[in-house]
Structure 1
Amino acid sequence: MKRILLNLLLVLIVAGSAYVFYLTRDGSSVTPEGSGTVSTAGGEFEGFTLPDYAAAALTDDYKSYFVEVEPGVKIHVLEVGEGYPVYLQHGNPTNGMLYRKVAAGLPHDQFRLIMPTMVGLGFSTKVPASEHTLENHIRWMTNALDQIGVAQVIYVGQDWGGPVGMGVMARSPDLLQGVVAMNTGFTAPKEERSLSAAHDTVSTPIVGELMLEGIGSIWSNLASVQGDPASMPKDVIDLYSLPVEDSGNAKAPLALMRMVPNGPDHPSSDQMREIEAYVATLDVPAALVWGMNDPILAQGLDSMRAQFPEASVIETEAGHFLQEEVPAEIAAAIIAVHARIDTKEGNDAGAEPVE
């Protein structure tokens, strides 16, 4: 009997070790394949036919294509409309489809709405967990915007779409003409800090993998960070979860949570300092749309107000993913920022030359 128990224990140890090894693997690259070409104002790109469940959530005038930012690394882009370019950047763990309701509230004959998906999420290339660094994401997205071909943009960002998108603006400073920021942050930590208990917990090796890739799932928690949990029904969650889970590499959500800097020596902090310094130089029309029922980033509004003291501010009852709850307010903010750009450009054009 003792030998049987010992053998059983040995089997359990081996099986447990194998499971831990599987959970903590780095993951492999998965490069999507498109078909045909798509023409945009910026050129010709590799087309991508959306699966039925994704296509059903969009109107027929959307363009879906890939931009190859490095060999084997492709960013999936949704684009709709013609006119003033608006760059809308999502965060973790969603994708460009997060802005579909916002896009529906904007005139497609006045705005060119560009919604790229971060590497690792949606239909973009999946990479090993170790390649998810803020520097990489900024570089990849900067290359994408370069190829998409825009000379100026209104930038709209939320969650990781804040630092990634603003990092792109910092590397291409002539692009930025206006800002709409939502539940995000542009400051670097100056001392050890905690964004949330969830971020602290998943930063622990093995524990994080068990929580998000083993016994738990990030997707099952999306509704809990909303002001109205009903704004995240299963069919909406599927828009974000299925492209990741079906790819065979679902490492991005955990890697992106671990990418959040918790102190000045964190690997993301250098880029956050760069972004914070850049934001301090800005003099562009800005609007803040904030979800005050966000359990993670509602607290960040005061800091954002300090960085954009002239910005209009809309406080809402939404949670973290505002785009699902208050798209009309976000669309209105974009329109208002665009109007202020027009006014500013008109004033500049009419100004007396300085001799």
Structure 2
Amino acid sequence: MEASFPTTTLSVGGLQFTALEGSRSSARDRRRPLVLCLHGFPDHHRTWRLQIPALEEAGFRVVAPLLRGYEPSSQPIDDDYHTIRMVEDVLGFIEYLGCLRVHLVGHDWGAVIGYQVAARAPERLSSLTAMAVPHPKRLASVAALRLLPRQLRNSWYMFFFQLRLLSDAALRRNDFALVDKLWRDWSPGFTPPAEEMRLLKRTFRQPGVAAAALGYYRDMFDPITRAAATSRALMRATVSVPTLALTGADDGCLDTRLFDLMRSEDFPHGLSVQRIAGAGHFLHQERPDEVNRRLVDFLRRHEPGDVGCD
């Protein structure tokens, strides 16, 4: 049965973003510390359905928005999907929600965006939790090069998505069968609920959503614009907030050994890298109890007093 959550609309930068909220996110609960959850690809905000109740039970308020482009109301006229724009969106969410700072939790692209938000505006975050994507600063090291052949094979889809007409058509073909394939490959042995995959594909069927989702990968390879240069600079910057990095031991998208290259000196306020056994790329859905336990423990240990929202 579909788990139902209240929704709210975040108005930022002339765009409208639908967000899931926990059932306790009423006015009387706005002083609870806020956890802002960002999804990845191919996914949407319901990816956090197994975390929202646990975080609420632990005393947190939760907001999980759809990312830029994942609904018609958040698709910019200029089709700009450089990560710096999503950073600006997230900072806008925090401002719109009236928060001094939040705990930011991101999976996949949400983790990529999270690293950049932490580099751009660390004063707005109490902590960062990044799932399934390591910080990229050390990925050009000699140690990383040893993993390159396998990782290039795993990352075939990034290059395929640069073929605009072909990949656009391929993503939509056979009821988004490519989405099913990526989930199977990235989380071997995991079968997500059929109803949840139906709802996910409903998101991707909305006008412009599939093209927007692929736009993230295309703008990532943009070699010339200022937005691209700013995004790349943020990806190399120090992360000055307490950070938890979670990786599934069986991730078929990003080799879990890449997380071993992360260095504490790039995280002066603390870094904890933790590996979840028996999980792949979608670790928070595959092992929700284990992920929730580690997440709640981390958030509770990094909770300043002035975290409420107006």
What's the TM-score, normalizing by structure 1?
A: 0.69
Structure with the larger RCO, 1 or 2 (CA within 8 Å, 6+ apart): 2
Q: Residue deviations 1:120-174, cap 9 Å, x none?
A: 2157523468322222222222212210122122221111101223333333321
SS in 2 for 1:78: strand
* Structure 1 residues 67-146: aligned runs within 5 Å: 67-71=10-14, 73-80=15-22, 81=24, 82=29, 83-108=32-57, 110-121=59-70, 125-127=74-76, 130-146=79-95
Kindly state the Cα deviation for residue 119 of structure 1 after the two structures are TM-superposed.
1.5
* Structure 1 residues 1-355: aligned runs within 5 Å: 56-58=2-4, 62-71=5-14, 73-80=15-22, 81=24, 82=29, 83-108=32-57, 110-121=59-70, 125-127=74-76, 130-187=79-136, 194=152, 196-214=155-173, 217-247=177-207, 249-261=209-221, 268=228, 270-279=230-239, 282-284=240-242, 286-299=243-256, 300-304=258-262, 307-308=266-267, 310-342=271-303
Q: Residue deviations 1:172-202, cap 9 Å, x none?
A: 3212222222111332576998571121222
User: Could you tell me how far apart the structure 2 residues matched to 1:123 and 1:301 are?
Assistant: 35
Please tell me whether the aligned partners of residues 292 and 319 of structure 1 are also in contact (alpha carbons under 8 angstroms): yes
Q: Which runs of 4+ in 1 moved over 6 A?
A: 262-267
Kindly state the Cα deviation for residue 228 of structure 1 after the two structures are TM-superposed.
4.7
User: Could you tell me how far apart the structure 2 residues matched to 1:217 and 1:130 are?
Assistant: 25
User: Could you tell me how far apart the structure 2 residues matched to 1:149 and 1:166 are?
Assistant: 22
| Matching residue's letter, 2:18 | H
Runs of at least 5 residues in structure 2 that lack an aligned partner in the other structure: 306-310
Distance 1:158 1:259, change over 3 A: farther
SS in 1 for 2:3: coil
User: Could you tell me how far apart the structure 2 residues matched to 1:205 and 1:118 are?
Assistant: 21
Q: Residue deviations 1:21-60, cap 9 Å, x none?
A: xxxxxxxxxxxxxxxxxxxxxxxxxxxxxxxx8xx322xx
Please tell me whether the aligned partners of residues 227 and 317 of structure 1 are also in contact (alpha carbons under 8 angstroms): no
Distance 1:267 1:213, change over 3 A: farther
User: Could you tell me how far apart the structure 1 residues matched to 2:48 and 2:69 are?
Assistant: 18
User: Could you tell me how far apart the structure 1 residues matched to 2:55 and 2:262 are?
Assistant: 25
Q: Percent identity at matched positions?
A: 21
Distance 1:106 1:134, change over 3 A: closer
Please tell me whether the aligned partners of residues 261 and 269 of structure 1 are also in contact (alpha carbons under 8 angstroms): no
Distance 1:235 1:226, change over 3 A: farther
User: Could you tell me how far apart the structure 2 residues matched to 1:227 and 1:115 are?
Assistant: 22
SS in 2 for 1:174: helix
| Matching residue's letter, 2:232 | M
Kindly state the Cα deviation for residue 290 of structure 1 after the two structures are TM-superposed.
0.9
Distance 1:122 1:211, change over 3 A: same
Distance 1:319 1:129, change over 3 A: farther
SS in 1 for 2:204: helix
| Matching residue's letter, 1:57 | A
Kindly state the Cα deviation for residue 310 of structure 1 after the two structures are TM-superposed.
4.0
| Greater Rg over alpha carbons, structure | 1
| Matching residue's letter, 1:184 | V
Please tell me whether the aligned partners of residues 103 and 126 of structure 2 are also in contact (alpha carbons under 8 angstroms): yes
Runs of at least 5 residues in structure 1 that lack an aligned partner in the other structure: 1-52, 347-355
Please tell me whether the aligned partners of residues 128 and 241 of structure 2 are also in contact (alpha carbons under 8 angstroms): no
User: Could you tell me how far apart the structure 2 residues matched to 1:114 and 1:122 are?
Assistant: 17
What's the TM-score, normalizing by structure 2?
A: 0.77
